[in-house]
Chains A and B, each alone.
Chain A
Amino acid sequence: MSIMDFLLQQSPALIIAIPLLGAFLTPVISRISDKGRNLFVILILAFTAFLVFILAMHVFETGPMTYVFGSTQNVVSNNTVIRILFEVDALSAFMAIIGIIIAFAAAIYSWSFMDNETGLDKYYSLMLLMVVGMLGMVMTGDMFNFFVFLEITSIASCALIAFRTNKANAVAAGFKYIVISTIGALFVLMAIAILYGQYDALNIAKLAQSITFSFADKIALVLLVVALAMKGGIVPMHMWVADAYGRAPASISLILIAATQASLYGVFRVLFTLYGNVITMPSISLGWVMVILGLLTMLIGVIMALIQTDLKRLIAYGAVAELGYIFLAVGTGLTVLTTPENVANIAGYGFEAIKGGIFHIFNDILDIGLLFMVAGALYFATKESSLNKLGGLARNMKYTTVFFLIGLLAVSGIPPLNGFSSKLLIYESIFQLNPILSIIAILASIMLLAIFIKVFQSAFLGPALPQFSHVKEVPKSMLLAMGIVAALIVFIGLFPDLFVTNVVEPAANALINNQEYLQWLTGGI
């Protein structure tokens, strides 16, 4: 068979294995040369991105693709699934695309951003491990495998958050992050053990087929949703987000956002696919809980962002507010699914809400990522991160100013950038659930715009300060990374329809109907 067919057939394993191989070879290569190691990491991420794109194109056309590890015979025997398998459907491919794009941008950004720090071989190793964990989390079809990749991601993230060990608050943020992460992951393991003890299956498709909604299953559902939402930064478990995002190096905050959204992907996968056959029972009102929590997250994120003086902490609280949008939108879709008289509406505004929520995951990672990269550029140029001390930098750093303007308009949902497209879908659909929700969401957006315009004015506009007269524009690799993300933001903003019909709709379809996910099990392999 041709080389492309071979790569496509083996791609779920290669997407995990090639960055893993890179992570193990990086300490060896960095003994030889530093620039060679940076180039090696970027090449590995570029090849993985190529594999992700061809896999995504295949999955968007022909449906979910399964990949069995170890052997292709005897996958199901005696009515149990005995092998570990990866199942890539449209939603997994969607999350993998955004994950690898942002990781590639972060690797290019780190070329000059981390240039004068020590211990960089461990930094690149851990960054590749974080990419492995994130991609593995979204592509796996086995619950315990999901737990293992979740832990890989949180250990690698914690080590990277505490990377600047000479700063006390970075180490404290890393410690808080690992304690909260580990307790969340142990609850997930407890829920997996409860599900395994009942049905003797760890495979998601097999569990979805045999799940009845007994009392132990309800406990497992609550544990899974709460623990994964805790890792995703939803109120009232949002306190670690500000510390972790605010004190990590800026290139790590990028990938950390994508890793956090991968935990939200875990919530959606559990709710819609694992419990998909029983979620329509009207005895649970989980949808309304998600709506209320999403609303609270939006409001608290925006209110806390008003009073911050540190730039990265402010953007971190903005990220929390955006997470509230996603949770609110998907919660609306779930509410529509669970009330029996509204099941007909699932083709109407419920589907639009889920489309808006999933589209907003993509846009949110790009927008907040661009803002973090600009914050890192300001820190790199001026060594200051407090808004009280910055000012008048638009004269020295022209390109950075333009990028910050693009990021600011995109986050607040101003046309013609991509934030507007997804937020319009969300506003339209949640208005039909309850008009008050839509009003609060628009208010939160307006407050975000006000906050970031204040940041723009205080950091970039204003009189030139004498201590910043020597500040030059940031190096070209950082500008290139910011340029890639900004170009993608503008492109999606100008052609949203192209993106929604080809990429977002298959993903939302795959989320709602779990029958395609179960097809390899029920229809024979």
Chain B
Amino acid sequence: MKGMSKIVKTIANISFPFIMIYGLYIIMHGHLTPGGGFQGGAVVASGIVLILVAHGSEWMQTKIKEHDLSLYESLGAFCFILLAFLGIAFGGVFFTNFMVNTNLPFGQIPIDGAANLNTGGTIPLMNLAVGLKVIAGLFAIILVMAIATLKKEEST
């Protein structure tokens, strides 16, 4: 697909950092407020799709290839499963939250109603892994669809 006019490109460039920060905020605070991996990842992917629609898929293809996105996706999924397996390794069953109530980074127990970012155990890390996978996955879907329609326009 072709890009849009210069005004649209400028405004998309300006609003993209805000969308990204908002999405990352939703991912990181998934254990405190509504949100989490998929929701925040969908917001960031919407921001990336905004850039894609504004600049055009030809420009986007010079920046990143779909082949590299599958690497990020596998990385995110692999981190998620690794955290689940570590639950078995640290005594317990699959998916055990082994970081809560210890001295590890996210190990605090909240006193009621006053939770902060340091609580939650493995949940924030799993949120980050799922968020990375969702960003890579949704971006790859839209990019491939944009490339497919571009080829279709060229072939007719």
Contact = CB atoms under 8 A, between A and B. Distances in A.
Contacts of B92: 71-72
A20 interface: yes
A17 B83 CA distance: 12
A27 B78 contact: no
Contacts of B71: 27-28, 31
Contacts, number: 47
Q: Which of B92, B93, B95 has the most chain A CB atoms closer than 10 A to its own CB?
A: B93
Interface in B77-126: 77-78, 81, 84-85, 88, 92-97
A20 B73 CA distance: 14
Contact of A10 (B77, B78, B94): B94
Contacts of B81: 17, 20-21, 24
B15 interface: no
Contacts of B96: 70-71
B84 A17 contact: yes
B85 A17 contact: yes
Contact of B77 (A13, A14, A24, A69): A24
Q: Which of B70, B94, B96, B97 has the most chain A CB atoms closer than 10 A to its own CB?
A: B94
A70 B88 CA distance: 10
A27 B94 contact: no
Interface string A1-36: 000000000100110010011001101100100000
Contacts of A20: 81
B74 A25 contact: yes
A2 to B, nearest CB: 16
Given A10-B88, A20-B81, A24-B81, A70 B74 contact: no
Q: Which of A24, A28, A68, A70 has the most chain B CB atoms closer than 10 A to its own CB?
A: A24
A297 B81 CA distance: 42
Contacts of B84: 17
A10 B74 contact: no
B93 A67 contact: yes
A28 B70 CA distance: 8
A68 B92 CA distance: 10
Interface in A170-223: none
Given A20-B81, A24-B81, A13 B74 contact: no
Given A20-B81, A21-B78, A21-B81, A70 B95 contact: yes
A71 B93 contact: yes
24 contacts: A10-B88, A10-B93, A13-B88, A14-B94, A21-B78, A21-B85, A24-B74, A24-B78, A24-B81, A25-B74, A27-B73, A27-B74, A28-B71, A28-B74, A28-B78, A31-B71, A69-B93, A69-B95, A70-B93, A70-B94, A70-B97, A71-B92, A71-B96, A71-B97
Interface of A: 10, 13-14, 17, 20-21, 24-25, 27-28, 31, 67-72
The list of the 9 closest CB pairs from A to B, nearest first, reads A13-B94, A24-B77, A27-B70, A27-B74, A69-B95, A70-B95, A21-B81, A24-B78, A28-B74
